Amino acid sequence: MTRPPLIFISPSVEKKGDEFGDLSVSLSETYQQALTDAGGLPLALPALPSREWIAASVRCCDGVLLTGGDDVDPRIYGRKLPPGLQRTVTLTPDGGARDWRELVLIDEVFRQRKPLLAICRGLQILNVALGGTLLADIASQRPGAINHRRLDQRSEIVHEVLLTPESLLSKITGGHSLGVNSTHHQAVARVAGPLRVAATSRDGIIEGLELKPGAARMLPFLLGVQFHPERLVKRHREHRAIFAAFVQACARNGKFDL
């Protein structure tokens, strides 16, 4: 029996876990369930600050999923924020270790050419890793934007995004627009050089990224989304299709059917 594709998930970190109140790994079961339902074998990536262990983990897996969580430290993308804007930022409780770990992880994913799906914070750290920047707080920096932080309806469709024609996301979901949930207060500002916009909300906030056609040789599969499709898979086939395409790419070393 052939095993399902092994997909490492980069977890969040909790300041005080169940056992002895230690700094602990945190991972929503919704990511794991969405991957399992699509035929993948999910496993939490060790939260170890070691390039050697990260490289070894990437060698062992068939694909990587970057998850949501706390904000990316603005100092990583060269932003010294004014005090009022800085107060809107919630950094990871591990003193920036998650930021460093995921930057190394992304570097290894590209070096070893493994399929990558990046969700919410995952899309943001991916953009930063490749040279892009972020809006530290949408409400402060884009006052005309809709409310993107709908935590009260985290598993519900709250607005539409427009999909770039012929984009990977458009081909996977089979449409020109997509209903999404929305639980973020940061967003992509300057898009990293190798990436292009795959989706935007009607107020202009970037909701999806993928490799430019000329950069597609860098990875067999790459898709980043600002929303949380893992919370919508039970009721919306378009969001199931995102995980199905990713798992298929992991199973076939990047080859998948659209």
The per-residue pLDDT for 258 is: 66
93 in helix, strand or coil?
coil
Show the tokens assigned to 78: 């060269």
Residue 1 located in a structural domain: no
The per-residue pLDDT for 188 is: 98
In the DSSP assignment, the letter for residue 183 is B
Q: Which of 61, 102, 108, 120 is catalytic?
A: 120
- Identify the segments of the chain with pLDDT beneath 70: 1, 254-258
Q: Which of 230, 236, 238, 239 is catalytic?
A: 230
The per-residue pLDDT for 187 is: 97
Query: How many residues belong to the chain?
Result: 258
CATH number of the domain where residue 202 is located: 3.40.50.880
Residue 102 located in a structural domain: yes
Residue 258 located in a structural domain: no
The per-residue pLDDT for 254 is: 60
Contact present, 88 and 70 (Cβ < 8 Å): no
The per-residue pLDDT for 13 is: 87
Residue 257 located in a structural domain: no
Q: Which of 159, 184, 185, 228 is catalytic?
A: 228
Residue partners of 163: CB distance under 8 A and separation at least 6:
169, 170, 173, 175, 176, 177, 178, 198, 199, 208
131 in helix, strand or coil?
coil
Residue 256 located in a structural domain: no
What pTM did the predictor assign?
Answer: 0.95
The per-residue pLDDT for 255 is: 63
The per-residue pLDDT for 5 is: 97
The per-residue pLDDT for 252 is: 84
* Residue 22, domain extent: 6-251
The per-residue pLDDT for 201 is: 98
The per-residue pLDDT for 18 is: 78
Q: Which residue has the tokens 């969700």?
A: 119
Task: Give the total number of structural domains in the chain.
Answer: 1
Q: Can 238 be counted among the known catalytic residues?
A: no
Residue partners of 193: CB distance under 8 A and separation at least 6:
130, 131, 132
Q: Can 120 be counted among the known catalytic residues?
A: yes
